[in-house]
Amino acid sequence: MVTPKDHINFQALKLSSNIDEEIMDCAIAFIEPNGGGPLPDHTHEHDHLFTVISGEIEIHVGDEKIILTEGKSFRVSGQTLHSVWNVSQKIAKVLGVSLSAK
């Protein structure tokens, strides 16, 4: 497992990469309470699809804050400033899929 650059109390386990033309990679993130990142929020060419396996996260997307609970998913445009934070009192497990931008 690795801690991505500029993330706090956040570890990721890469499951696969270069899957096809749309799906770049996927990983499971294990985010401790009050952990997340990156700091500061960032942008990039690809999108993210986040699905909460357990726990609760808050996704910062531009000026919005979106709460996701277990079983919920949200696609974030890589072109918009964003970050992901654990707002629960237990480790949040999140499946993250990097997708080619729409």
Q: Which pLDDT tens digit goes with each residue over 50-93?
A: 999 999 999 999 999 999 999 999 999 999 999 999 999 999 99
**Domain residues of the chain, as ranges?**
8-99
Say how far apart CA 43 and CA 72 lie, in whole Å: 22
Say how far apart CA 25 and CA 64 lie, in whole Å: 26
The whole-model pTM stands at 0.93
May I ask the CATH architecture of the domain 8-99?
A: Sandwich (2.60)
DSSP labels for 17-33?
E--SSSEEEEEEEEEEE
